[in-house]
Amino acid sequence: MNLLITGGAGFIGSNFVRYWNKKYPHDNIVVYDKLTYAGNLENIKDVLNSPSLEGGLGRVMFQKGDICDLNDLESTVKDNHIQTIVHFAAESHVDRSIEAPDDFIQTNIIGTFKILELLKKYPEIRLHHVSTDEVYGDLPLDRPEIKFKEDDKYIPSSPYSASKAASDHLVRAYIRTYGIKATISNCSNNYGPYCFPEKLIPLSITRALNDQEIPVYGDGKQIRDWIHTEDHAYGIDLILEKGKLGETYLLGGNGERENIWMIKEILKLIDKPESLIVHVGDRKGHDHRYAIDYSKAKKELGFEPLKPVAERLRETVEWYKNNESWWKELKTKADVIAEKYLEKRI
């Protein structure tokens, strides 16, 4: 099979590329990425332009491009005889969307629209659209029995989640109106290798390794349902194999944890003191809790996270400890953001 992976040089996309290349060594993958601040060819250098990880005939190729450029997108699809598109490309950091929402509207909404317009012309191509649980808003901290389900109402809280909600609606509209072949998945918070160090887990790991203060929004009691990128890739694999066209599937990590728990656990794993934690003013419109009911994916696809969150977190910490060369230069940008947060210490 020939796949086009939009945003394949980013955090989640690159982990999916590596997963697919290893599991399906005879498939050809074209990584289509604009290489913005979070897109990095270093994320896929071990598989790029070389035979597959398992010695098959498939290859991973890179095409720099913008999903908003329909002509370039079409040329890439035609030249590489693309059969399946997995659409990861998105602006994804909530704080950035609050400060500067323009890029989120352009990439997440207009970019998805361009892909959908392309599929009107090439209806034989299968699309999988990757989205977020943040489109559903948030859940109360005192009602642990309530979790997001596929048919829940969309109540996005930030420009980021609003832009992803809009892109989901566009995909559904094109499925119904134009008959394109597509599925959607909404996942919880991802963690794992190659995550840009401005996000909570890699920020905490890299700053702890350097004995730097770690900013924590408010009391840190916000709850996220963490999913490792390998489990996320596995879920998308199952959707492409068994998922029903036109359907949406929620993918969770079975890993509901408070943010403060994750940070304290990271400090234990690195053997650093909790005194590095600094509580800062909370994010505007901060969602309290995310939790996913993935029973539909479990029943229809057989999806289940492959490992528990504590084990996955240990693996993630070890990866960052062993790959300082990857994150060292990127950390400079993340530290600027962290120091800005620390100015609002409580």
Closest CA to 59 of 1, 131, 130: 1
Strand pairing partners for 130?
185
Cα angle 297-301-307, degrees, rounded to a multiple of 5 = 75
Number of H helices, E strands in the chain: 12, 13
- Are the C-beta atoms of 290 and 255 separated by less than 8 Å? no
Give the tokens for residue 256: 């509901």
Please give the pLDDT value at position 56: 61
Please give the pLDDT value at position 176: 98
Q: Report pTM.
A: 0.94
Rg over CA atoms, the chain: 19
Please give the pLDDT value at position 285: 74
**Which positions are catalytic?**
133-134, 160
Continuous H helices in the chain: 11-23, 70-79, 94-99, 102-104, 112-121, 159-178, 200-209, 229-242, 259-270, 295-301, 309-322, 324-342
CA distance 68 to 114: 6
Please give the pLDDT value at position 55: 62
Residue 306 is given by DSSP the state S
Give the tens place of pLDDT for each residue, 88-110.
999 877 777 787 788 889 999 99
What is the b/e burial string over 76-94, where b = at least 16 CB atoms within 10 angstroms of the residue's CB?
A: bbeebebbbbbbbbbbbbb
Task: Report CA-CA distances (Å) from 4 to 77, 126, 171, 214, 309.
Answer: 7, 10, 17, 37, 30
CA distance 246 to 266: 39
- Are the C-beta atoms of 170 and 112 separated by less than 8 Å? yes
Please give the pLDDT value at position 332: 84
Tell me whether residue 311 is exposed, middle or buried, using C-beta atoms within 10 angstroms of its C-beta: 0 to 12, 13 to 18, 19 or more. Answer: exposed
Residue 67 is given by DSSP the state T
The widest CA-to-CA distance across the chain, in whole angstroms, is 58
Give the tens place of pLDDT for each residue, 234-278.
999 999 999 999 999 999 998 899 999 999 999 999 999 999 999
Q: How many CB atoms lie within 10 A of CB 271?
A: 7
Please give the pLDDT value at position 343: 87
CATH class, 90-192+226-255+288-307 region: alpha beta
Domain edges within the chain: 90-192+226-255+288-307
Please give the pLDDT value at position 185: 98
SS (H, E, C) 82-129: CCEEEECCCCCCHHHHHHCCHHHHHHHHHHHHHHHHHHHHCCCCEEEE
pLDDT, mean of each 10-residue run, the chain (346 residues)? 96 96 94 88 88 69 96 96 96 77 91 98 97 94 93 94 96 98 96 92 96 95 95 98 98 93 97 97 84 97 95 97 92 85 87
